[in-house]
Structure formats: C-alpha cells, structure tokens
Amino acid sequence: MGELTHIDSKGNPSMVDVSVKNITQRKAVAQSIVELGATIMDELKNGEIYTKKGPVFHTAIIAGTMGAKKTAELIPFCHPVGMDDCKVEITTKGTQSIITCTVKVEAKTGIEMEAITGASIAAITIYDMCKAMSHQIEIISTRLMQKTGGKKDFKRA
C-alpha cells in the first residue's frame, strides 16, 4: 500500500504539497443515482418535479454547483481550486434520477472531489425536496465516472 500521502514525517495529518506539480487541464465526472419511486415520478412533468418547496431538479442543479464550489471548505485536505466550469445535469430513467456533475480546471491538482461533492449535494437536495412525498427515497450510489489530467486518467467501464 505504501506511504500515507496525508501524513507528515512526524505522523501528523498534513495537506499534500502540490507546488512542484505541473499545471494541466483536468476534468472529472461523477454520478449519483437517486431512487425516487413511482409515487414521486408520477409528478414528473416536462422533465421537472414540482413540490411545495419549488422545482426539484432546477434547485438540485444550483445546489450541486454550489457544493462543488465549496468542496475545499468541507473536506479537510482538499486543495481549493478555482473551477473553470461546473455542469450538473439531471436525467430520469424509470423511477430514478441520474445526476451527472462535470467539473473542469487548469491546475496542479485534481478535481475529482469537487465532481463527487457536486453530484452528492444535488442528490441530497432531491431527497430533501421530495421527502414530504415519500420516505422511500434512496440515494443508491455516488461514484467517480471519469477523470483526466494529472498522473493517470480513469474511466469507469
């Protein structure tokens, strides 16, 4: 397994020093899937669900973008990066909403955590806005789908 990357020579938690890394174009794509169930999906009209709290998917897109932008404030050793682009898209399939968060940056460090956070926050927002309709909602998965730039690229099969 090798050395722990976030532990310094004295055994204390520490950020990774990225000052010697090269700046590269980086992109990360994360996905969250929310099982809403038939009761909630019956309310889907023109690609949107409206509740007393407002338009669910539109609100989740805004929340996901805000979450991605605040990632470094939430995760202790995550480097703050000025994102060049963040897109949160929501599609539906059957009784599920599929959230895709794509983040791009030109930086010395990756942007995977921003994409994962954006997708997660959008999923949690959907849950919050729909919970009055059903407590059977389930956030099924959140995972990194792809990353490019840095040492190695990754794409989930």
* Residue 154 CB partners (closer than 8 Å, separation 6+): 144, 146, 147
CA triplet 43, 46, 47: central angle to 5 degrees? Answer: 80
Per-residue pLDDT, 105: 97
Domain residue spans in the chain?
A: 24-148
* Distance, first Cα to last Cα, the chain: 24
Q: Which of 66-70, 73-77, 127-131, 139-143 has the lowest mean pLDDT?
A: 73-77
Give dist(CA 135, CA 109) in Å, integer.
39
DSSP structure string for 6-17: TB-TTS-B----
Please say whether the beta carbons of 142 and 124 come within 8 A. no
Does position 1 have pLDDT exceeding 60, yes or no? Answer: no
Q: What is the mean pLDDT of residues 11-21?
A: 81
Radius of gyration of the chain (CA): 18
If you ran DSSP here, which 8-state letter would residue 117 be given? H
In this prediction, residues 128-143 reach a mean pLDDT of 96
Active site amino acids: 128
Q: What is the mean pLDDT of the chain?
A: 93
Kindly report, residue by residue over 52-105, the tens digit of the pLDDT. 999 999 999 999 999 999 999 999 989 999 999 999 999 999 999 999 999 999
Q: How far apart are CA 76 and CA 19, in angstroms?
A: 18
Q: Domain 24-148, what fold? A: Alpha-Beta Plaits (3.30.70)
Place of tokens 């956070």: 117
In angstroms, rounded to a whole number, what is the distance separating the alpha carbons of residues 87 and 61? Answer: 8
4: pLDDT strictly greater than 80: no
Beta strands, E only, 7-121: 24-35, 50-51, 54-55, 85-93, 96-107
